[in-house]
Chain A
Amino acid sequence: MKLAIASGKGGTGKTMVAVNLAFTLSKTEEVTLVDCDVEEPNLHLFFPAPAITTEVTVPVPVVTETTCDHCGRCEEVCQYGAMTVLRNRVLLFPELCHSCGGCTLVCPNGAIHEEPKRIGTTTISTPLPNLKLVSGMLDTGNPHAVPIIRAAKTLAASDPLIICDTAPGTSCPVVETLEGCDACILVTESTPFGLHDLRLAVDVAARLDVPIGIVINRSDGKDQATLEFCTDHDLDVMMIIPFDREIAAIQSRGDLLCRVRPEWQAAFTALFYKCQALAGVQR
């Protein structure tokens, strides 16, 4: 089963749910935890362990000026403005390039070839006997998160139980992570911000046809608006985590709630059973 943890709004507790779910489940089965929040990956902070790093590259065009006759065909087909052809020189803007390969394809002189350009890394580690952690990390200054997410997900591909921590927001990184997942937990907080962004996240998951369940985090008891929204949209509120300064402190220092307070493990196991039901998995 492939499970995504997402939220819309940032800072609602995706990572907290992901690390505690993975920690608890790893006591009884093999778990692969994938950090798909490649712009700001944090899972490795909760599971320090020696890791194997691999570079992630994308192909970018390189022009051989001696074969190029500056016809301008490449600039014409590039939809991203990544190439400008001057009278005697081609200017490349690799940060704008989406690696579509169009320029290489149309060059009548075969003057363009592609070379790999590093945009980030993936790491694999085994912080606990049954836990494999895959983290994608975008190099700072690089805008393209999606190829890193794809690379990280590929490293987990055939594992029996995969939990993906998603970036906040509702755009391409979220879509890339959610695609192919069997179920998605949306973590929210009971504020107008949380609810506003929950609506958007529900919309994205619905477009991708991924079944969703809700976790309300840092609840101060004023959850009516969120609960009403969930009832109206036929969404199961699978877990409510109360606001508690101690829980916040455990998470802040990079520790695990389910390790410090093992009585929480039962709640995360129950959450997982609900996710299985969402995904239609038989127990």
Chain B
Amino acid sequence: MIRLAVISGKGGTGKTMITAALAHLLPGSIVLADCDVDAANLELLLNPDQIRTEPFMGMKSAVIDPTICTGCGECEVHCRFDAVHPEGGAYRVNPIRCEGCAVCVLVCPAAAVTMHPRQTGEVRYSQTERGHLVHARLVPGAGNSGLLVHAVKKTAMEQDRDCNLFLIDGPPGTGCPLISTISGMDIVLIVTEPSVSGLHDLKRVVAVCRQFRPRILVVINRFDLEPSLTETIEMWCCEEKIPIIGKIPFDPAVIESVRKGVPVTSAGASPATQAIQILKTNLEQELMHYNNKR
């Protein structure tokens, strides 16, 4: 199984659109995962039938029993996350701020604090036309998105380990969920756009990827909107020896396909579809080369 993650650094560059189109076009057996767990959108293009869901338990959360609490305040003093505050003579833990470290349990002289498991999301296992999709739902505002990403990847790799390709729609950013996504990947495909923000964020996400040593590939989306910045991105990638394997033009057909809830490549001929065909051909070469190397 080759593990490929589509990521971007900057949000809204077209990761999900490209992931869905590649899932539609690439031959062979595929298992898909949506690792953008706080705003998962891949399901909106792949029309999955849910097979099962499993609760996701994040870090435990501290709870103070107000009938035992003596109001000494040791918990508040030692909490590094500003999660404990006085309330009516006793202390109370704000579950949104609690990171589950259990230091309050350690310091409470009255043993009024206990740790409780909490469900902060769910992992969903579904069937699509192109194979199984593992996706998730994080309770809005909950933490542990990196752990949930890990749970999603683990489910996909255990359930569908015989697939030729593990294709991930990744999260934006460079923090915990992104790092959790790219760890163990063979190839990352970075979707960028010709804007100063796109280039800045591309450089940062490349720096993160290089700490994990996957093969790094770039695709420029909406490349024709700002030709001079596209050229700047091409020059930078050339200097950094990062292959650009596709350039997709701005195309209203993309937004139309999103509104229809289908991959753009299955919505008929369009400039974007044509460009994604080329991207797919180049990516296939990369995958073949990777297989031969192993």
Residues of A within 8 A of B (CB): 8-12, 15, 37-40, 42, 45, 77, 79-80, 98-102, 105-106, 138, 140-145, 167-175, 191-193, 196-197, 200-201, 203-204, 207-208, 220, 222, 245, 248-249, 251-254
Give the A-B pair count, Cβ closer than 8 A.
190
- CB distance A9 to B259 under 8 Å? no
B59: Cβ under 8 A from any A Cβ: yes
Partner of A207, one of B11, B140, B258: B140
- CB distance A140 to B39 under 8 Å? no
- CB distance B141 to A204 under 8 Å? yes
Which residue, B101, B145, B175, B225, has most C-beta atoms of chain A within 10 A? Answer: B175
A11 closest partner in B (C-beta)? B12
Which residues 221-272 in B have Cβ within 8 Å of A in the complex? 225-226, 228-229, 252, 255, 258-259, 261
Q: Which residues of B contact A208 (CB under 8 A)?
A: 96, 141
- CB distance B9 to A40 under 8 Å? yes
**B contact face: mostly helix, strand, loop, or mixed:** loop
- CB distance A45 to B197 under 8 Å? yes
Q: Which residues of A contact B175 (CB under 8 A)?
A: 38-39, 138, 142-145, 173
B16: Cβ under 8 A from any A Cβ: yes
**In the complex, what distance in Å separates the CA atom of A15 from the CA atom of B146?**
25
- CB distance A143 to B176 under 8 Å? yes
- CB distance B12 to A141 under 8 Å? no
**In the complex, what distance in Å separates the CA atom of A196 from the CA atom of B34?**
15
**In the complex, what distance in Å separates the CA atom of A93 from the CA atom of B197?**
32
Which residue, B141, B172, B179, B194, has most C-beta atoms of chain A within 10 A? Answer: B141
User: With contacts A175-B143, A207-B141 known, what are 17 further pairs, Cβ within 8 A?
Assistant: A8-B39, A10-B13, A39-B174, A40-B11, A45-B196, A80-B101, A99-B80, A101-B80, A105-B106, A138-B175, A140-B205, A168-B173, A172-B143, A196-B44, A200-B39, A207-B140, A252-B226
Residues 153-169 of chain B: 1 if any A CB is under 8 Å from the residue's CB, otherwise 0?
A: 00000000000000000
Residues 91-111 of chain B: 1 if any A CB is under 8 Å from the residue's CB, otherwise 0?
A: 000001001111100110000
Partner of B103, one of A100, A143, A168: A100
Q: Which residues of B contact A12 (CB under 8 A)?
A: 11-12
Asked if A100 meets B101 with Cβ closer than 8 Å, knowing A42-B200, A197-B41, the reply is: yes
- CB distance B174 to A170 under 8 Å? no
**In the complex, what distance in Å separates the CA atom of A99 from the CA atom of B107?**
16
Closest chain-A Cβ to B6's Cβ sits at a distance in Å of 13
- CB distance A42 to B13 under 8 Å? no
Q: Which residues of A contact B96 (CB under 8 A)?
A: 175, 207-208
- CB distance B173 to A171 under 8 Å? no
Closest chain-B Cβ to A82's Cβ sits at a distance in Å of 11
Partner of A203, one of B59, B99, B141, B229: B141
Asked if A105 meets B103 with Cβ closer than 8 Å, knowing A196-B39, A200-B140, A245-B225, the reply is: yes
**In the complex, what distance in Å separates the CA atom of A169 from the CA atom of B171?**
9
B288: Cβ under 8 A from any A Cβ: no
Closest chain-B Cβ to A79's Cβ sits at a distance in Å of 5
- CB distance A101 to B103 under 8 Å? yes
Which residue, A101, A106, A168, has most C-beta atoms of chain B within 10 A? Answer: A168
- CB distance A40 to B102 under 8 Å? no
Which residues 128-150 in B have Cβ within 8 Å of A in the complex? 138, 140-146
**In the complex, what distance in Å separates the CA atom of A149 from the CA atom of B106?**
28
A137 closest partner in B (C-beta)? B204
- CB distance A105 to B141 under 8 Å? no
Asked if A254 meets B201 with Cβ closer than 8 Å, knowing A141-B211, A143-B175, A169-B171, the reply is: no
